[in-house]
A = this chain, B = another copy of it.
Amino acid sequence: MSEPTLLVLDADPPPRLGRLAGRARVLHADASTLAEQLPLADVLLVWDFSSQAVRHAWPGPGPRPRWVHTASAGADHLLCPELVASDTVVTNARGIFDRPIAEYVAGLVLAFAKDLPGSLELQRERRWKHRETERVAGTRACVVGSGPIGQAIAATLTALGVHTAVVGRTARAGVHGQDDLDRLLAGADWVVSVAPLTSSTRGMFSARRFDLMRPSARFINVGRGQLVVEADLVDALSRRSIAGAALDVFEEEPLPSDSPLWGVPGLLVSPHMSGDTVGWRDALGEQFVEFFELWAAGKPLPNVIDKSRGYVPG
């Protein structure tokens, strides 16, 4: 077989691809050139997870890559109906973000329990104000999303003594199905949103579900912004229907500087960074090179997404 053509959708060149020298012809595209270059590609590497360019370019004319890899856990940004219906295999970066995101969520849980934001605020005011804090051990968490990231979050919270339930699309060993979701939300001190974004999860955290939660509950979203109806969350916080929230992902990213979300009391905002530990780009590049070598050798690819569901099945 002649050298396959690898098309990379990215702003900056990904690390580690130099290792494919002599084994692939590497082309680059951005949102404006993707449509014209797509027919040339055997493989598409979607490096920029925030781009919607694949959705827009894929339905056009001409041949399409046989394999698309996204350097992200979610695949919602590329799964247009035409790609879903095609024979193209889609893989993701499952495995890279699990532990970092689990640590990030544990950090948020402890920060809420120990009122670290309050301490930082009081420090700025140079005020010594003792408060009683919360014990994390013995509390209850509901992790919505049963993929490897959700499982890693559950393992980390469990290690801290938190009684943790995981909810997925369908029940299986160690995972609750959708039927249990509302009951588990109602009993949780911590609700963690890390489900894949699909037609059935979009907007799942709306007023009805916030109203189910305990007034002392905190809600944490490290999945996708569109899982949450942001206006309903703001309303739930202002009515004190829940006690606090942390969003690392948003309907619109970057969050515009004039968004009201920046200033909502009880809401912590961070810039979609929960999984991005030092070296994350290298790890993503290495994972892709490893997958490329399997693909070039005709071996089965790991992390194949069930395109009709939108994620790698458990």
Q: Give A residues with C-beta under 8 Å from B.
A: 99-100, 103-104, 106-108, 110-111, 113-114, 116-117, 119-120, 122-123, 126-137, 156, 159-161, 253-255, 257-259, 262-263, 268-274, 276-280
Contacts and interface: CB of A to CB of B under 8 A. Distances in A.
Given A100-B135, A103-B113, A107-B113, 9 more contacts: A117-B120, A119-B271, A130-B272, A132-B273, A132-B278, A132-B279, A133-B273, A133-B276, A133-B277
Contacts of A262: 123, 126
B114 A103 contact: yes
B132 A277 contact: yes
**Chain A to chain B: the 3 pairs with minimum beta-carbon distance, closest first:** A107-B110, A128-B254, A159-B159
Contacts of A160: 103, 106, 156, 159-160
Contacts of A111: 107, 110-111, 116
23 contacts: A103-B113, A103-B114, A107-B111, A110-B111, A111-B116, A116-B116, A119-B269, A120-B268, A122-B271, A123-B262, A123-B269, A126-B258, A128-B254, A128-B255, A128-B257, A128-B271, A130-B276, A132-B280, A133-B273, A134-B277, A156-B160, A159-B159, A159-B160
A117 B116 CA distance: 9
Nearest to A262: B126
B107 A116 contact: yes
B106 A133 contact: no
A128 B127 CA distance: 28
Contacts of A127: 257
B278 A136 contact: no
Contacts of A122: 271
Nearest to A118: B270
Contacts of A133: 100, 104, 273, 276-278
A108 B116 CA distance: 8
* Residue of A110, A117, A258, A278 with most chain B CB atoms under a 10 A cut-off: A110
A129 B110 CA distance: 23
A135 B268 contact: no
A119 B276 contact: no
A269 B119 CA distance: 7
A181 to B, nearest CB: 27
Given A103-B137, A114-B103, A132 B271 contact: no
A216 to B, nearest CB: 11
A274 B115 CA distance: 11
Nearest to A128: B254
Contacts of A257: 126-128
Given A120-B117, A120-B268, A135 B104 contact: no
